[in-house]
Amino acid sequence: MSPPSRPAPCPSCAEPPPAQAAFCPRCGTPCAAPPGGGAPEERRVVTVVFCDLVGSTALAGRLDPEALRAVTLRYFTLMRDRIEAHGGTVEKYIGDAVMAVFGVPVRHEDDARRALAAALDMVAGLETLNTGLGRDYGVRLGVRIGVNTGEVVAGTDPAARQALVTGEVVNVAARLEQQAAAGEILIGPATALAAGPAAVTEDVGELALRGKRDPVPARRLLDLHADDPERTRRFDTPFVGREPELAQLGLLLDRLAAEPRSHLVTVYGEAGAGKTRLLREWLGGRAGAAAAVHGAGRCRPYGEHGSLAPLADAVGQALAGAGPGPFAALTGGERAEADAARTLLRRGLLADGTPSPSPDDTCLALHVLLSVLARHRPLVLVLDDVHWATAELLEMTGRLLDELDDAAVAVVCAARPELLERHPGWGSGRLRSLSLTLGGLARHEAAALAAAMTGGPADGPAEVTAHARRAAAAPARAPDQVLADALERAEGNPLHLEHLLEHLLAMSAGAPAGRAPAATGLPPTLQGLLGARIDALDPEERTLLQLAAVLGREFGRTELAALAVTETEPAAADPAADCAGLLRRLVRRRMLEPVRRTLTADPGLRFGSGLVQEAAYDGMAKAVRARRHLKAAEVLSAQGAPDAAVGPHLARAHHYRTQLGGPGGTDPAGRDLRDRAARTLLRAGAAAQARSDLPWAADLLARARELCVPADPFAAEAARRLGEVRAAAGAAEEGRALLTEALRTARAAGDGLGAAHAELALAALDPRHGSAADAARRALPLFTAAGDDQGIARACVRTAQERQRRGRHAEAESLLHRALTHAARADAEPERAMALGAVGISLWRGPTPVPEAVARCRELLDGHGTGRPTVRAVLGCPLAVLLALQERWTEARERLAEAEKLARGLGYAEAAVFVPLFAAEIESLAGRTGQVPALLDAAGRACRELGDTGTPAAIERLRARTLLEDADGSAALDLPDPREAGLPPAESADADGLRARAHALAGRTGRALELAGRAAEAAESTDSPVVRGTAALDLARTLHALDRPRQAADAAAAARRHFAAKGHRPGQARAAAFPDPPPEVMS
């Protein structure tokens, strides 16, 4: 992205030194560091090796200084050679100690294993060295080694004359070395985990290390097995998915058997996609060993192996698997030729993996032997990890396929897509070449695999298996969230899923009971795997990838290009063009992928894997993250991005600066950054709340509140809004505590408006904090004076709801109209929905005839419901009841089901109360009383979970009415006296009517008539034909139970009139079905 910096002139002689020179070649003066400090520091997981001589003081006393120097140099040379042979870097020599790092400047996916292999080679090499030292100087050397793995801050430029790594990992490695005995290698727990089961170790207990407060568990390294798939991968779980690929491979065997011709098959897939497992399943479980003779070999990234060693392994296995049978039938010259070929290969290829005596001879010998094998059964040679293959191996593979053109031979290669980056022409131009690409498993397949890995059902908590290398670290049970997090982050990659599950389960073992661990951080194995892939990028590509990681999983090209400009030195000619070119390369490398392709919009990009984004982000030093997040906030603000996009960048910049002890919350710059971040997040959270996006609002508001201090003028608003959101989502206690905090903070700051908001929200949440209507009446003048549209809407709705409880729906109408006007002006969806829901209640319970009320509801939905699911959910419930009043049962239930689905998706906890209540009302109207109790039970449970103390009374009244249909008055008799309970008229009429019927059934005439009269009187004070009709019908049933048929018939007729005026068909039918008095009574 920026041109390479020119080396600064020598400070002594002014001569420009060569690039990367540590010293001036003319005068020897140390060279100055290049401008800009070279590559930025990074955070990365590395493995540190400390090796020290044992008894060096005594050795110095025995040898002449010159001899001592010669011995020490031979020792240092040996140690360096063994370290570098395994890909490590010697950082420094400290006296007689050597410190080496694996993972800097370049990461490998197996750095921990390389470090252990190097440590064993250092000890083994010392034995050989001691033979010569004993002969030349009469001495023997002994070493002790400590190895530890963990995160460090690393300088990735080994030419920079400074420490490559810094961190506690280094100190622990040094302390482990000091605890080791001569010839012993002690390793830390993270190293053992990262190296995997190939490392043979024994426990040495917990060691008290100097400088560490807690003891460190350590292990003694005994041996290191080869990193064969059987040891490093799990083949003990059921094979899932990949049916299309298995089918294609099965067809290949059919073609080989039907037409003997050579085939090349390449199975591509990212690391961990399951290439090896697929081929094992194909040749072993699914196809059957009898279908073909096969052998397998694996390419390795480093080490002393012959260039054709994988082919040698595959051929050797195939020959062993076929046995002597194919060759026993040969005669004469053909047999002699086969014997000669076998002898040649045994001395060359099969002995050391080299094409000895020559590639031509080796190819010819292979042709002879493999042709014989393929006559009896198809021959399949599997070459795994071909992306690490040497050019000689690929060339020999191609030649062999050409030579075996008329033989039933298939060479099946498993490779990562990097193979095509190194060898773009692989497989092209070959007639019988097949490529298969493995993507991620489908979600249900990955869930089944996770269940098998953890020993439980795919859709729930799981027992952890006793898999030998996992059992010690895993807890007894995996929380649901652990499985969900692992499935989400692995994105169908089996290896990623395995290691994420192992990592998260280990973390959950230390989490509080009942809580899953935070889904943060990557296990060391995946850090190494993904980090190595990122390190393979060019520096400019890596920088751009990190900038993209700052922006998020998905981002726009324009914003990334603008952010990249901030990283570019002024000398860059065209940073925008540079960025576009780098992006194309990152897409080709599958780091990024396009997500939106339109002619007008900015074509977006996203990380091909979320774990790659995590690895790229984790690789940046915190100071770099802070700077880049701040720049990202500036870029997004300049582009007009919403607060929700800008605020998190400001918050993260502040977070990292505070962590590093830089500008935090005490100096002016830190206070300004904190203030900007908090205000921006608060605005974003308020906007999300206004859209009814509860999860996003809760996240933004929680971050805003974390940044607040009590003295901030916006602290009360942050606590209050977060309390409202948490209460709406069902966390009533947390919401109540936050609202109480907001009220206290606002009052202390003299913030009358904020206090009014908090007081109203508290009263609406819990009647124990006072009447919501009283709080609304006190707050409304303050909201009006401040022009607070959202506050005005809330206050008007709460006041209107009090009118509705009294049954005065006409009075509520004007308040609700005002509430709706201000909610629309504030563009606040929850307040709009709350006002419209209350309008719907009045249309149901109030004097508006049902046909007109239905039409009005539909009109309101058309005007306010488009794009507002909260409105459709809340207004859909009373509309469903109105449809039931017209006996349109199917439509009513469908409308309620839609409302329930919308409410569930929005996350409003109160939906668990009101949806069952509305459903119970509909089923009660339909006469399906058997359905009602379960619905009321569900609503009651939800009330208890939410701490709702107001709704249960309505639930119990509806339960009592349902039981009275079966002449059971027990629940009605348990209802409290409305006068003592202070119930408003509409609720009093309902309760007293039910109590009157229960007393009548019990034969208490006087009490029954008294209560029925009270119910009728309360109903008459309302404007609700539903309340009046219900009270009249309750009176009729009371009189009927008291054997007063004439009076009962008059009351039923009154009920019919009220229900008819409303258009309440079920009520009319029930009143009309009331028995007429007998003739003698009528006369």
> CB of 516 within 8 A of CB of 481?
yes
pLDDT at 140 over 70: yes
Strands 293-298 and 216-224: unpaired
pLDDT at 12 over 60: no
Section 1036-1064 average pLDDT: 94
Which has more confidence, 29 or 11? 11
- Please give the pLDDT value at position 332: 85
Burial class (CB in 10 A: 0-12, 13-18, 19+), 987: buried
pLDDT at 905 over 60: yes
Residue 1082 binned pLDDT confidence (cut-offs 50, 70, 90): very low
DSSP alpha helix (H) spans, 806-885: 809-826, 829-845, 850-864, 869-885
Instruction: Supply φ then ψ for residue 690, to 5 degrees.
Output: -70, -20
pLDDT digits (tens, 9 = 90+) for 586-606: 999 999 999 876 655 667 899
Strands 554-556 and 462-463: unpaired
pLDDT at 32 over 70: no
Q: What is the rounded distance in angstroms from the CA atom of residue 238 to the CA atom of residue 249?
A: 19
Among the ranges given (14-23, 86-95, 138-147), the one the predictor scored with the smallest mean pLDDT: 14-23
Burial class (CB in 10 A: 0-12, 13-18, 19+), 1002: middle
pLDDT at 688 over 70: yes
Residue 1045 binned pLDDT confidence (cut-offs 50, 70, 90): very high
Q: What is the rounded distance in angstroms from the CA atom of residue 865 to the CA atom of residue 824?
A: 12
Residue with tokens 């990992």: 169
- Please give the pLDDT value at position 508: 67
Domain ranges in the chain? 1-38, 43-227, 242-438, 708-766, 771-908, 984-1083
- Please give the pLDDT value at position 19: 52
Q: What is the rounded distance in angstroms from the CA atom of residue 251 to the CA atom of residue 527?
A: 38
pLDDT at 966 over 70: yes
Residue 465 binned pLDDT confidence (cut-offs 50, 70, 90): very low
Q: What is the rounded distance in angstroms from the CA atom of residue 845 to the CA atom of residue 956?
A: 19
pLDDT at 459 over 50: no
- Please give the pLDDT value at position 284: 83
Among the ranges given (232-241, 418-427, 451-460, 1010-1019), the one the predictor scored with the smallest mean pLDDT: 451-460
pLDDT digits (tens, 9 = 90+) for 853-866: 999 999 999 999 99
- Please give the pLDDT value at position 579: 86
Instruction: Supply φ then ψ for residue 815, to 5 degrees.
Output: -65, -40
Residue 875 binned pLDDT confidence (cut-offs 50, 70, 90): very high
Section 952-975 average pLDDT: 94
Q: What is the rounded distance in angstroms from the CA atom of residue 130 to the CA atom of residue 134?
A: 6
Tokens of 91: 């950082």
Buried residues in 109-144 as b, exposed as e (16+ CB within 10 A): bbbbbbbbbbbbbbbebbeebeeebeeebebebbbb
- Please give the pLDDT value at position 461: 37
pLDDT digits (tens, 9 = 90+) for 843-853: 999 999 999 99
DSSP alpha helix (H) spans, 552-667: 557-565, 575-588, 610-618, 622-638, 643-659
pLDDT digits (tens, 9 = 90+) for 1000-1044: 999 999 999 999 999 999 999 999 999 999 999 999 999 999 999
- Please give the pLDDT value at position 196: 84
> CB of 946 within 8 A of CB of 730?
yes
H or E element: which one contains 54? strand 42-54
* Short-list 947, 881, 888, CA closest to 912: 947
Q: What is the DSSP letter of 268?
A: E
- Please give the pLDDT value at position 376: 85
What is the overall mean pLDDT for the chain?
Answer: 87
- Please give the pLDDT value at position 1002: 93
Q: What is the rounded distance in angstroms from the CA atom of residue 882 to the CA atom of residue 1065?
A: 10
Share of the chain above pLDDT 70, in %: 88
What are 145's strand-pairing partners? 51, 185
pLDDT at 338 over 80: yes
pLDDT at 37 over 70: no
Share of the chain above pLDDT 90, in %: 63
Q: Is the pTM here over 0.95, yes or no?
A: no
Which has more confidence, 339 or 157? 339
Give domain 43-227's CATH architecture.
Answer: 2-Layer Sandwich (3.30)
pLDDT digits (tens, 9 = 90+) for 468-522: 333 333 333 446 778 888 888 888 989 898 888 888 877 766 544 334 334 457 8
pLDDT digits (tens, 9 = 90+) for 277-287: 999 888 886 44
pLDDT at 94 over 60: yes
pLDDT digits (tens, 9 = 90+) for 417-448: 999 988 988 988 888 999 999 999 999 998 88
Using CA atoms, how far residue 802 sits from 42, 758, 911, in Å, is: 62, 19, 21
* Short-list 171, 296, 144, 169, CA closest to 228: 296
- Topology of 984-1083 in CATH? 1.25.40
3-class DSSP state of 379: strand
Q: Which CATH number fits domain 242-438: 3.40.50.300, 3.20.20.60, 3.90.1150.10, 1.20.120.1750?
A: 3.40.50.300
Q: What is the rounded distance in angstroms from the CA atom of residue 83 to the CA atom of residue 121?
A: 8
pLDDT at 740 over 80: yes
pLDDT at 305 over 60: yes
- Please give the pLDDT value at position 471: 35
- Please give the pLDDT value at position 39: 60
Residue 410 binned pLDDT confidence (cut-offs 50, 70, 90): very high
Tokens of 650: 């400001």
- Please give the pLDDT value at position 822: 97
- Please give the pLDDT value at position 707: 94
CATH no. of 771-908? 1.25.40.10
Tokens of 189: 């727990």
pLDDT at 367 over 50: yes
Residue with tokens 């009729």: 1036
Burial class (CB in 10 A: 0-12, 13-18, 19+), 1010: middle
Query: Is the omega angle on the peptide bond into residue 105 within 30 degrees of 0, that is, cis?
Result: yes
Please indicate whether the domains covering 771-908 and 984-1083 agree at the CATH topology level: yes
Which has more confidence, 1074 or 79? 79
